[in-house]
Amino acid sequence: SNSRACLKEIIKIIMTDYATWPKKYPFCGGVFQSPIDFHNDILQYDTTLLPLELVGYNVSSTDHFMLTNNGHSVRMSLFPTMHIRNLPFQYTATQLHLHWGNRNKPEGSEHTVSGRHFAAELHIVHYNSDKYPDVTAAIDKSDGLAVLAILIEIGPFNPSYEKIFSHFQNVKYKDQVALVPGFDIQELLPDQLDEYYRYEGSLTTPPCFPSVLWTVFRHPVKVSQEQASLSKTDIFLFSLSLYALRSPTSPLPPCPANQLFRGASAGREGGEAGCGSVLMEEAEVSWSRGGGELPVGAEHPPIFFRGCSSPRAPTESVPMHAHPPNSEAFN
């Protein structure tokens, strides 16, 4: 069957050691790679960062999002009227997708906090609409993408997430599509939008373009165990996002001793943020309260906790053409 063939292909890719990625995709072995681990030692509070401003996120129920299974992921398309402000550019939403674990490794988040994985991670993908016409044009540019990442843990039933989960049964197989009535996408985010980690990183699977301004919210949201279990069915064993093909619970590469972030935390003594696979030379990371301008003339990527930043300003967009751009990379 198509589902069995798809599952076999996914398993084949999973069994390919991700350490070999740089041989075919040079950026996968470069700097600014994601995901990372956020831990105490690398953060500095930055008071210049602003809370994110989300525009157009409240979509009328008379409009519909499109939920699609493309054979290796399930994602939901978003409307171009949705934007993020209080960043160096305006970023327009394009889609969202989830990273789950599986039966053997239930904790499926890509980013970690002090080494801890979470049950899942939601990514809301945006592209730089001030400079590029669409996500395909933006995906390989150094200032091309901005992703909001929401860490998810087990807790009470979450009615907002159920607005998406309840349609999973209708997209079990490749090429199936379901229509999801509009709702306020901000309901999927934590209440404290002014507390987050930020850094300049990459796509988390090949071609690993270092094109993503990451905002990872400090506070997780909760879904019930029953809701989370939906992701452990056979549907999602072969509908896993390519972003999760490197086992999400694999240890992230440690920071070399001479490539550390200096930092403190925002809002309280001792923050959380981390280096993981990000390789920087004498990078300085700061963190603070939500969003904001990046320092001009900086040489290294930003990491913010509750707004945490390290110095690399997106002054010039740099095309990265080791391989042709592929908008399907963000699935």
Cβ atoms within 10 Å of 47's Cβ, excluding its own: 10
Q: Is 323 a catalytic residue?
A: no
Which residue type does 176 have?
Q
Which residue type does 224 have?
S
145/142 Cα distance (integer angstroms): 8
Exactly one of 39, 72, 111, 117 is catalytic; name it.
72
Contact yes or no for 68/177 (Cβ under 8 A): yes
- Interacting residues of 55 by C-beta distance below 8 A, sequence separation 6+: 82, 83, 84, 85
Q: Is 270 exposed, middle or buried (0-12, 13-18, 19+ CB in 10 A)?
A: exposed
Which residue type does 222 have?
K
Cα–Cα separations (whole angstroms), residue 262 to 183, 276, 296: 40, 14, 19
**Which phi and psi angles does 174 have, rounded to 5°?**
-55, 140
Q: How far is CA 237 from the centre of its chain?
A: 20
Contact yes or no for 215/197 (Cβ under 8 A): yes
Q: Which two tokens stand for residue 77?
A: 């398309």
196/307 Cα distance (integer angstroms): 5
Contact yes or no for 50/289 (Cβ under 8 A): yes
Contact yes or no for 325/132 (Cβ under 8 A): no
Q: Active-site positions?
A: 72
